[in-house]
Structure 1
Amino acid sequence: MFDPNAVPEEKRGNAGVALRVLLGVLFLLPGACGGLFYVAALFEWISGGFRFRGPDNFTGAFVILAAPSILLSTILIGLLLRYASWRRAPQASLVLAIVSAVVILLSVLMLYDEMGINAPDDIIVTILVIAVAIGVSVVPPFLHWRSKR
């Protein structure tokens, strides 16, 4: 049936795509800023023989601030990909899950070295924090990839 008020296919705007791109860029900003600090802290940790140098080193603080900002970006981008109509969104979600897992693992290793966690109570709290971080940032993108595979 002919609808005289219908907008032809070629004249529809790409506002939805533009909005997703804009949101993607905005969601990447905290991760990019955190990534700069994170790479600096990671370089400092690796160049020091997988140890931070000196007692008054503030590199651990960079890790504490950078890791959550990177994970926030991966969560937000993961939500954006979940509802994207892009054909490769599930593969991008898998990459986000891997990035999140690597960031969590390296952060725990760096902070373990920085804080000297060795009491049983500290280890239990650390394991709980790791479990929550993995549950929030790694599992949803992985499940998106798994369900679309």
Structure 2
Amino acid sequence: MAENQDRVGTGVRIVLLVVLGIVALTVLVPGVTVYWMVVEDWAADGTGFRDIDGAINWLFGVCAAIAIAAGLIVIGVMLRLAAWRQSTLASLALSILSVGFIIATYWIFSDTNTSPDSIEVVFLQGCCIVLLLLVALPPFLHWAMAKPTSLPAPTEPRS
């Protein structure tokens, strides 16, 4: 009976991981596309987000960054649920990638023609702090709180 329940649990886990993967892709693909277009426009223009078109691009870019962050959260949940031996290490990699993404987002989108204490920069700072707490911290904690795996005992060479 326990073996049969284990198979059902494994099947449910696989279905859940597939559904979460589809949700992650559904959020990530449009988010990355819009984010890439905004950043490309920002880089090509060279003046940052300084006019009305820049303000609209800034708003779309921040929304795209939030969509990407939501996709990264779902990937973090998938890594937590995965019965994969290296999922904790993958969580650490996801955490590092998330921190880099959030720092890059702040660096790019804080390039406005306003003072550093303007409402949009303060809003961006708040968003980035929340993104660090929601996106980067849980995978890091998954890695940090994982039980260390025991290494196999070294074998003696045969003579």
Counterpart of 2:25, as a letter, is L
Which segment drifts farther, 44-53 or 24-33? 44-53
TM-score (norm 2): 0.71
Match of 1:135 in 2: 133
What's the Cα RMSD here? 3.2
Quick one: structure 1 residues 127 and 51, their matched pair in 2 at CA, closer, same or farther if it must change by over 3 Å? closer
| Residue ranges of structure 1 left out of the alignment (5+ in a row) | none
Match of 2:84 in 1: 86
1:19 aligns with 2:16: yes
Identity over aligned residues, as a percent? 27
Counterpart of 2:19, as a letter, is L
Shift of residue 6 of structure 1? 6.5
1:59-115, Cα deviation, whole Å (9 max, x unpaired): 212212101111111112212211221112112212321232222212222221136
TM-score (norm 1): 0.75
Match of 1:35 in 2: 32
Conserved 8 A contact 1:52-1:59: yes
Work out the number of aligned pairs and report it: 145
| Residue ranges of structure 2 left out of the alignment (5+ in a row) | 149-159
Quick one: structure 1 residues 52 and 27, their matched pair in 2 at CA, closer, same or farther if it must change by over 3 Å? same
Conserved 8 A contact 2:94-2:139: yes
Q: How many Å separate the matches in 2 of 1:83 and 1:13?
A: 11
Q: How many Å separate the matches in 2 of 1:90 and 1:13?
A: 19
Match of 1:100 in 2: 98
Match 1:67 to one of 29, 45, 65:
65
Quick one: structure 1 residues 117 and 103, their matched pair in 2 at CA, closer, same or farther if it must change by over 3 Å? farther
